[in-house]
Amino acid sequence: MNRASSSFALIVLAMIACPRTGHAEDVAAWFVPQESCPTRPCTCDDIPMMDAYLQNQKDALSAWSSVKADITTPTGPTSMSDAVTSFNGRFSGDARVLAQFKTCPGYDATKNNPNKVAGVTKFGGAVLDPCFCAAYCADIVNATVVHEMMHVPTTIAGVVGKADLIIACRLGVLTGHICNAILPDTLATSEVLSYTAGINALETRLDHLKTHDPAVPELSCTWTPLAPIARGPSVRPPSGFFARVALLWRRVVSGGSPMAVASHDAQR
C-alpha cells in the first residue's frame, strides 16, 4: 500500500473511530432552509441590535477561546459535554439580544430555544428556527448561517488532523488526558473558527450599512444605541478590619449573597 492509500485508510478509520461531533443530531424538526426563513433586509434602524448581537458573538468567541486553552491543562474539560458546560459557565449572553428573539410572532418558550437557533442537516445544508429569522434582520441571519456552515469543514479537519492520535487512543497505545482532550478540543476549535467566521461576516455587513443608508445610499445611517445592560449596584467592602470581619460573618449567615448583604447593610 503506497503512502497516499495508507493515509486515506488512516483518515477513514479515524472518522469511524471518532463519534460524530457535528450538529445534525441537534436540528429541530421545524427548522427550515435559509431560503424559506422569513427574514427581511437590514436597515439603519437595525444597527443598534446588530451592534449588540455582534458584541454578543465576540463575547461567546472569547469564552470558547478560554475553554480551548483550558483543555490542554490537567484539569481542563475531558469530554464535549464538559467543554459545553465550561462554556456556559463563562458566557451568559446579552439580555437585550435574548429579548429581541422573544419578539418573534408565536414565540413559544417551550419550543424556541435561543441557544439553538440554527444547525446543519446530515446532508450538509443549513436550517434555522423561523422564529429566529423573524426576530432579526437578514445580515444577522446570514452571519449565523456562515457560522453553522463553518462547523462542517472545521470538524472534519479537526478529526483528520488528529487521526493518528484517535487511532492510537482506540488501540490503547496512548491513554490519559491526551486521549480525553481530543473530542473537546475538536469541538472548541470548531466553535472558535465558526464564531470567527460569523463575526467577520456580520462585521463586514454592519460596517457597510453604517456608511450606506439603504433608503439613501449616498448618505450614512444615523441611529440611537440601545440602552446599556442594567447591572446591579456594586458592593464595596467596608474599610477597617472589624468591619470586614462583620461583613464576612453576614455573608455566611445570609448564604453568601452580595445582594442580601447589601440589603442588610441598607437596613442598618
Q: Is residue 260 part of a domain?
A: yes
Query: Residue 27 has what pLDDT?
Result: 80
More confident residue, 189 or 174: 189
More confident residue, 26 or 207: 207
State the residue range of the domain holding 238.
232-268
Radius of gyration of the chain (CA): 23
Query: Residue 178 has what pLDDT?
Result: 83
Query: Residue 154 has what pLDDT?
Result: 92
Query: Residue 14 has what pLDDT?
Result: 45
Domain match, 102 and 204 both: yes
Phi, psi (rounded to 5 degrees) for 120: -125, 130
Q: Is residue 226 part of a domain?
A: no
Domain match, 196 and 242 both: no
Burial class (CB in 10 A: 0-12, 13-18, 19+), 109: exposed
CA nearest 221: which of 208, 205, 202, 234? 208
How far from each other are the two terminal CA atoms of the chain, in whole angstroms? Answer: 83
More confident residue, 198 or 251: 198
Domain match, 171 and 88 both: yes
Q: Is residue 246 part of a domain?
A: yes
Query: Residue 38 has what pLDDT?
Result: 92
pLDDT digits (tens, 9 = 90+) for 176-213: 888 888 999 999 999 999 999 999 999 999 999 999 99
Distance CA 155, CA 162 (A): 11
Q: How far is CA 130 from CA 6, 21, 133, in A?
A: 45, 25, 5
More confident residue, 237 or 115: 115
Domain match, 126 and 240 both: no
Cell numbers for 40, please give them: 427581511
Domain match, 60 and 127 both: yes
Overall number of domains in the chain: 2
pLDDT digits (tens, 9 = 90+) for 74-121: 889 999 999 999 999 999 899 999 999 999 999 999 999 988 999 998
Of 22-36, 37-51, 148-162, 233-247, least confident by mean pLDDT is 233-247
Distance CA 154, CA 160 (A): 10
Query: Residue 158 has what pLDDT?
Result: 87
Q: Provide the percentage of residues in the chain whose pLDDT is more than 70.
A: 76
166 contacts 21 by C-beta, under 8 angstroms: no
Domain match, 30 and 84 both: yes
CA nearest 166: which of 11, 2, 20? 11
User: How many Cβ atoms are within 10 Å of 51's Cβ, its own excluded?
Assistant: 16
Q: Is residue 253 part of a domain?
A: yes
Q: Is residue 218 part of a domain?
A: no
Domain match, 200 and 260 both: no
Of 37-51, 174-188, 225-239, 245-259, least confident by mean pLDDT is 245-259
Domain match, 164 and 248 both: no
Domain match, 81 and 149 both: yes
Give residue 171's pLDDT band: very low, low, confident or very high (50, 70, 90). Answer: confident
Query: Residue 259 has what pLDDT?
Result: 37
SS3 labels along the chain: CCHHHHHHHHHHHHHHHCCCCCCHHHCCCCCEEHHHCCCCCCCHHHHHHHHHHHHHHHHHHHHHHHHHHHHCCCCCCCCHHHHHHHHHHHCCCCHHHHHHHCCCCCCCCCCCCCCCCEEECCCCCEEECHHHHHHCCHHHHHHHHHHHHHHHHHHHHHHHHCHHHHHHHHCCCCCCHHHHCHHHHHHHHHHHHHHHHHHHHHHHHHHHHHHCECCECCCCCCCCCCCCCCCCCCCCCCCCHHHHHHHHHHHHHCCCCHHHHHHHHHCC
Give residue 123's pLDDT band: very low, low, confident or very high (50, 70, 90). Answer: confident
pLDDT digits (tens, 9 = 90+) for 54-78: 999 999 999 999 999 999 898 899 9
More confident residue, 62 or 23: 62
Mean pLDDT score of the chain: 81
21 contacts 158 by C-beta, under 8 angstroms: yes
